[in-house]
Amino acid sequence: MADTSVAANPLREGMRIRKTPSPCSMVIFGASGDLTQRKLIPALFDLHCERLLPQGFSVIGCAKTPYSNEKFRESMADAVRKFSEKSSSVDEALLKSFTESLYYLTDDFGDRDAYTQLGDLLGKLDRERGTGGNRLFYLATPPSSFSVIIGHLGSSGLARPEDAGKSWTRVVIEKPFGHDLESARELTTTVNSAFKEEQVYRIDHYLGKETVQNLLVFRFANGIFEPIWNRRYIDHVEITVAEDLGVEGRGRYYEEAGLLRDMIQNHVMSALSLVAMEPPASFDAVEVRDEKAKVLRSIRPIDLDRLDDFVVRGQYGDGWVRGERVPAYREEPNVSPQSATETFAALKLFIDNWRWADVPFYVRSGKRLAKRVSEIVVQFRRVPHTVFGRKTQNPIEQNVLAMRIQPNEGIAISFNAKFPAPMMEIRPVKMEFRYAESFGGEPPSAYETLLLDCMLGDQTLFNREDSVELSWQLLTPLLERWREDGEKGIQLYEAGTWGPEAADKLLERGGRRWHRL
């Protein structure tokens, strides 16, 4: 792989700000779309403000909409003013300087000539702006365009660095990475026809969140937790990714996707693999991703003959959220009145390896739940013997470690303490750490982190093809079964609650209950 660092620059040594990448050009396919305007361009501008973009950095927007460079620049400047993290205080001089590095190419993704034009423009920027032949292609288009674009990038020679060893070429692919195992494999084949795996960055913005990354720090930078992070001490693990929003006008997309594809296959499985993985030899892309893949490979296939014991599928009905009446999923625009699409799923999973044998991992995610919260809860086993016997009136609670990913990011540990009284009264107490209270300042947005990682050639926080396929391998049989079942087995739940009762029963059968969020 080309040397992507700027370590050769002796003036860089010891700099505390994140390394800035080598000068490069970024090509955004789907430049007139929502993702570009809401996330990519504002994140790039925020990086520009932090001086984290390299000198000469250039963006070429490609889309079918006929724009001139000027029109594109105006449109992106508006997007920055509206969606940047710094939108309340956008510096117009900086914004002007940033938008001057934006170019536009009207592009029919299927037209081979467009790629010749793109190659010419990239060459011109290399000469004029010193971008050194380094290219980052970002596919911000619907997945249906992926194979056409990748095919043309390959056949036009743009997928390979012109000067191998000295410059680099990378491609960023947005989720969904396929809609089942077969389509994921097809996508992998297409991508591999033009790019090598080390050039491919499958982005899941969830992994760019500071608190998700802190999971690794918490586990592997603290000596006290790892020795008890196993079946001997842990009773079960819960992962919840809950939203109080509905489908927000994305009914058409959601009817095709459903919650399992939208949340569980990527975000939840990523979180699970970070919680359950073995310590990697180093915080390096290959090592970390190897360990994540091992976890996914060890998850026991879902027993489709005993589906009710392992899976709950739900769909929200009408109800109240934040004091407002909200419609049922089937009443949302572009949703079929007979829709069998799930908006909630809860799964009981097992990881068949020495560390986690027989420890259930309960995962749940849903829309229109009681509140927006993402949390990982590790519940420890009860003490093996209660020495206090009849001297205490209350049962001794199990210790709980809760890692809050959003909002109010932080970590809390509950343990038991003696209540100050003459008798032996034991009460659970909570010790809590919150990011906002201990560390000031705003963390960078997930897209800022991940875009910079792409340019720096760090794949640690991106999904590798094997993990994507392993995740689909686990979930595709369930999706097929649900497709066959249609409406049968779908549990309706009232909007603004914690999902169907069956999700509670999933834990109650093992004498457990969801941690209160």
Footprint on this chain of another protein (rule: CB under 8 A):
6, 8-17, 20, 22-23, 48-51, 54-56, 91, 93-94, 96-97, 101, 127-130, 132, 166, 407-408, 434, 436-441
Least Cβ distance, residue 183 to another protein (angstroms): 39
Closer residue to another protein, CB minimum distance, 57 or 329? 57
Closer residue to another protein, CB minimum distance, 69 or 192? 69
Least Cβ distance, residue 515 to another protein (angstroms): 20
- C-alpha span between 276 and 140 (Å, rounded): 31
Contact 44, 53 (CB under 8 A): yes
Least Cβ distance, residue 91 to another protein (angstroms): 7
Give catalytic status of residue 48 as yes or no.
no
Closer residue to another protein, CB minimum distance, 111 or 128? 128
Two structure tokens written together for 112: 């081979």
- C-alpha span between 336 and 93 (Å, rounded): 49
Closer residue to another protein, CB minimum distance, 269 or 403? 403
Q: CB-based contacts of 179: which residues, under 8 Å, 6+ apart?
A: 143, 256, 257, 261
Closer residue to another protein, CB minimum distance, 174 or 243? 243
Least Cβ distance, residue 68 to another protein (angstroms): 21
What totals of helices (H) and strands (E) does the chain contain, helices first? 16, 16
Residues found in the chain = 517
Catalytic residue, candidates 48, 205, 236, 267: 267
Least Cβ distance, residue 457 to another protein (angstroms): 14
Provide the CB-side half-sphere exposure for 103 (13 A, CA): 18
Least Cβ distance, residue 10 to another protein (angstroms): 5
Q: CB-based contacts of 185: which residues, under 8 Å, 6+ apart?
A: 178, 469
> Token match 């170019």: residue?
103
- C-alpha span between 49 and 94 (Å, rounded): 7
Least Cβ distance, residue 328 to another protein (angstroms): 32
Q: CB-based contacts of 286: which residues, under 8 Å, 6+ apart?
A: none
Closer residue to another protein, CB minimum distance, 305 or 442? 442
- C-alpha span between 266 and 376 (Å, rounded): 15
If residue 2 lies in a helix (H) or strand (E), which one and from where to where? none
Q: CB-based contacts of 233: which residues, under 8 Å, 6+ apart?
A: 380, 381
Least Cβ distance, residue 393 to another protein (angstroms): 25
Least Cβ distance, residue 437 to another protein (angstroms): 5
DSSP line for 320-367: EETTEEE--GGGSTT--TT----SEEEEEEEB-STTTTT-EEEEEEES
Task: Let me know the angle formed at the C-alpha of 403 by 401 and 406, rounded to the nearest 5 degrees.
Answer: 155
Q: CB-based contacts of 329: which residues, under 8 Å, 6+ apart?
A: 246, 247, 315, 316, 317, 335, 339, 341, 343, 367, 368
Closer residue to another protein, CB minimum distance, 33 or 443? 443
- C-alpha span between 323 and 203 (Å, rounded): 35
Contact 466, 269 (CB under 8 A): no
Neighbours of 421 (CB within 10 A): 7
Closer residue to another protein, CB minimum distance, 76 or 234? 76
- C-alpha span between 4 and 161 (Å, rounded): 12
- C-alpha span between 32 and 41 (Å, rounded): 11
Closer residue to another protein, CB minimum distance, 153 or 402? 402
Give catalytic residues, as residue numbers. 267
